[in-house]
Amino acid sequence: MTATNHSITAANLALVTKSWWILPIALLSHFVLDALPHFGNTKGKDIDKKFITMYTIDFILLCSLWLTVLLVTGHFRYLVIAAMTLATIPDVVWIYRLFLKLKKKAVPKKNILTRFHTAIQWGERTWGWTIELGWLSIMGVIFISLVRKIG
Ligand SMILES: [Zn+2]
């Protein structure tokens, strides 16, 4: 899933529980969401127009979410940011591998975790952005209702 969807889901987990024990669950939520059908390139190309559009929008939304969290989550902001970071960080491996590939450097063989991370993303489809948008809408409504309860 997109970084925004991983982050907003973790933000909601943190705001529901308001407790630090949610952090490992926030990390695990990454893999649960990746196992759902979502946006991805199925034609074997690393980067195409759809990929650039999708991840540009994702980056803008992610920055907006971070700013919103900093402004509206009060004394829960550090918990929410920690949860969002943990829920997003597993995808850093893909950015690193893509960077190596684009630089035409040797891409390391996938380890057991990377192979698992690939295998669970069986449902990557170019039309998966519709699912991403639906998920974001639901999580956005929940986020707003949770933020309203902070006081
Ligand atoms: Zn992932």
Separation of 78 CA from ligand 1 center, angstroms?
A: 23
Separation of 74 CA from ligand 1 center, angstroms?
A: 29
Separation of 48 CA from ligand 1 center, angstroms?
A: 19
Task: Check whether 34 has a pLDDT greater than 90.
Answer: yes
**Nearest to residue 38, comparing CAs of 88, 1, 89, 82?**
1
What does the pLDDT look like over 55-74, one tens digit per residue? 999 999 999 999 999 999 99
Q: How far is residue 20's CA from residue 110's CA, in Å, rounded to a whole number?
A: 31
**Nearest to residue 126, comparing CAs of 31, 50, 53?**
50
Whole-prediction pTM value? 0.93
Whether the CB-CB separation of 119 and 32 falls below 8 Å is answered with no
Which residues are found with C-beta within 5 Å of the ion, ligand 1?
A: 34, 91
Task: Check whether 44 has a pLDDT greater than 70.
Answer: no
Whether the CB-CB separation of 85 and 62 falls below 8 Å is answered with no
Task: Check whether 43 has a pLDDT greater than 80.
Answer: no
Separation of 128 CA from ligand 1 center, angstroms?
A: 14
What does the pLDDT look like over 68-105, one tens digit per residue? 999 999 999 999 999 999 999 999 999 999 899 989 88
